Structure 1
Amino acid sequence: MTQKLLLALPAALSLAACGGGGDDEATTTPAQAQYSYTTSSPNWTTTLPANLSVYAEQDGTNVTSSQKVANVDIKQWNATRGEPDQVDIQIDGEVITLTYDPATQLTSGTHDGKTYYFSYLSNTQRNSNQTETVAAQVQIIVGDANTLTVSGIAQGVIGFETPDSVVTAATGTANYSGGGNILYLTANAWEMSATQANFAVDFNNSTISGAIQVDDPVGPSQTRPNTYTFATISVPQTALTGNGFSAQPTVTVNNPGTNTYTFSNETINGTFYGDSSDVLAGTLSADYTANGTAGVAVGNYMAN
């Protein structure tokens, strides 16, 4: 997997690298390629629907969530950097143009007095000795790179989805492993956890199950422990629908430290990407409280 990280905020804001290489034993019916076979640029010339989770916002008094981000459009690809120089995002029906600044190494833009930052982590697969970009995790942060403040966050996935017919026709079993991030937003603070994701798919019975191991939440100036013992998000055996799934997982807090965490309204979804269900990626969200303070958690994951 190839990492394409655009957000040059400190490490606590960075996307975690995905693990890769699950033993994919599934047999699928070949589909017509939905992307170009090239090492320099994905064929992302049209607006792609962004499978974004809830968009969480804070105002110093409370935190709210909504489905504000509609699309992410890769407008200008830089073959030298292997990353986009311009990205348009659509929020509440308005298009915001984000551009890359070589001096700051940030991809950002302003709208209504707010600064939006964009980061991107791509997943590539090799078919017929060619490298093809299949999917990408995207993260949109509203905040200030200098003060490390965050007032809004959206997590999502873009890419070329596996056709429903291909997923339906697939046989055998496949294991997917990877990872991602979860961001926790309260009225006047934020934290982040890295995650490790593992899923088992039974294409014969059209079901999926799995678990996501969550690292300790850390603030913007803290170092991630990378122990992944804080919590487990368990996805029960769930029927595949079309080219993906949606479920209500269970969050078990294993190591809360000195804090008290409770989670509710948990949701997770996933979609297969690539010609032959090469990648499984999606988003998750939940309401939570930490020591009685209410917040919203949003995250994404990508697995091979």
Structure 2
Amino acid sequence: MVYFLKIFYLGNRKMTQKLLLALPAALSLAACGGGDEATTTPAQAQYSYTTGSPNWTTTLPATLSVYAEQDGTNVTSSQKVANVEFKQWNATRGSHDQIDIQIDGEIITLNWDTTNGEHVGTHDGRAYVYIGNAISDRDPNAPEIVAERFYIGIRNAANSNLADEVAAGIVGFETPDSVVAAATGTANYSGSGEIYYLTANSMEVSDTQANFAVNFNTSTISGAISVDDPVGPSQLSPRTYSFATISVPQTALTGNGFSAQPTVTVHNPGANTYTFSNETINGTFYGDSSDVLAGTVSADYTVNGTAGVAIGDYTAH
């Protein structure tokens, strides 16, 4: 994975896989005046049947972990993103001109910025940025775009290397619960993702490699995510994936996905001291036949005694 994240002008961090949303646990995005009250109802899990690029004009629930915010002195986290609605499909460009995001009951409209190649909107004087990538089911005969993995950020006006708030998540056409329940056999899912580390005055990022084993006969899942060394957003990652391992114990599938408390083992901390707590991971199947497994990870952490929030995502086929 190479650098793509224009969200905060941290340098272009391009994703070869599709995006999803991870946010920290107690953040407070002061719900602000001027936004419309949300009235739409999220679409339920459904088949995609989109074939090719999706002209999504529906409101979908956002699968996310936490939403992280820094104010220059500390970092907090919460779950504040409820829905994402895609509007105004642009057939020429092959993406949407407008995306509406519901945050704390407010609907924030993000329009396509051709110059920077991202969706941008201003709310209560703050610039929100949305970066997304489509996730294909990789069907060799009739590929469908079944989900979108995304990041939302608020740019820090004083320091372009920082974000005041950041979230990562995924929206899409979930595999129906009944299809997952009826599946048999076993399957291995592999893919990639990222983890962002946000403290009061710094941000780092790691690339990750995800591997999961699913036993549909027993409705269980287990796996591990290998984490690369944390580096500054404009730096190249070492791509040794030896910094840490996020281990997911055998966990029961619930509906069309899972949630668990993984264990984070740091192997190569370098000159730093890391501790992790409150680790969470979730995953959801997307596509007509559980073709894609995608989810988010989050944790509280300290580096050399400084507290922060780690958020990330993964996509696997």
Aligned to 1:90: 102
Aligned to 1:186: 199
Which region of structure 1 is more displaced relative to structure 2, 137-146 or 208-217?
Answer: 137-146
- Asked if 1:269 corresponds to 2:268, the answer is no
Matches within 5 A, 1:58-207: 58-127=70-139, 129-144=141-156, 147-207=160-220
User: Normalising by structure 1, what TM-score?
Assistant: 0.89
* CA gap 1:292/1:13 in 2 versus in 1, 3 angstroms: farther
* CA gap 1:6/1:75 in 2 versus in 1, 3 angstroms: farther
Can you list the C-alpha shifts for 1:103-125, whole angstroms capped at 9, x where unaligned? Answer: 23232111112111111121112
Corresponding letter in the other structure for 1:73: E
Aligned to 1:260: 273
Corresponding letter in the other structure for 1:68: K
- 2: CA distance between counterparts of 1:60 and 1:250? 29
Aligned to 1:18: 17
> Once the 2 structures are TM-superposed, how far is the Cα of residue 173 of structure 1 from its aligned partner?
0.3
Whether contact under 8 Å (1:249, 1:268) holds in the other structure is yes
Aligned pair partner of 1:227 in 233, 237, 240: 240
Q: Which stretches in structure 1 are left out of the alignment for 5+ residues? A: 20-31
Aligned pair partner of 1:239 in 232, 249, 252: 252
Whether contact under 8 Å (2:47, 2:288) holds in the other structure is yes
- 2: CA distance between counterparts of 1:126 and 1:228? 25
- 2: CA distance between counterparts of 1:151 and 1:11? 13
Whether contact under 8 Å (1:12, 1:219) holds in the other structure is no
- 2: CA distance between counterparts of 1:165 and 1:58? 41
* CA gap 1:102/1:118 in 2 versus in 1, 3 angstroms: same
> Once the 2 structures are TM-superposed, how far is the Cα of residue 126 of structure 1 from its aligned partner?
4.6
- 1: CA distance between counterparts of 2:62 and 2:219? 24
* CA gap 1:256/1:244 in 2 versus in 1, 3 angstroms: same
- Sequence identity of aligned pairs in percent? 67
- 1: CA distance between counterparts of 2:230 and 2:80? 25
1:242 aligns to what SS in structure 2? coil
Whether contact under 8 Å (1:50, 1:72) holds in the other structure is yes
- 1: CA distance between counterparts of 2:152 and 2:229? 22
> Once the 2 structures are TM-superposed, how far is the Cα of residue 147 of structure 1 from its aligned partner?
2.0
Aligned to 1:35: 48
2:65 aligns to what SS in structure 1? coil
Whether contact under 8 Å (2:7, 2:152) holds in the other structure is no
- 1: CA distance between counterparts of 2:93 and 2:65? 28
> Once the 2 structures are TM-superposed, how far is the Cα of residue 149 of structure 1 from its aligned partner?
2.3
* CA gap 1:160/1:247 in 2 versus in 1, 3 angstroms: same
Runs of 4+ in 1 over 3 A off after TM superposition: 5-13
> Once the 2 structures are TM-superposed, how far is the Cα of residue 182 of structure 1 from its aligned partner?
0.8
2:281 aligns to what SS in structure 1? strand
* CA gap 1:214/1:13 in 2 versus in 1, 3 angstroms: farther
> Once the 2 structures are TM-superposed, how far is the Cα of residue 258 of structure 1 from its aligned partner?
0.8
- 2: CA distance between counterparts of 1:84 and 1:144? 26
Q: Which stretches in structure 2 are left out of the alignment for 5+ residues? A: 19-44
Whether contact under 8 Å (1:35, 1:43) holds in the other structure is no
Aligned pair partner of 2:64 in 11, 30, 52: 52
> Once the 2 structures are TM-superposed, how far is the Cα of residue 263 of structure 1 from its aligned partner?
0.2
Whether contact under 8 Å (1:259, 1:291) holds in the other structure is yes
- 1: CA distance between counterparts of 2:78 and 2:250? 28
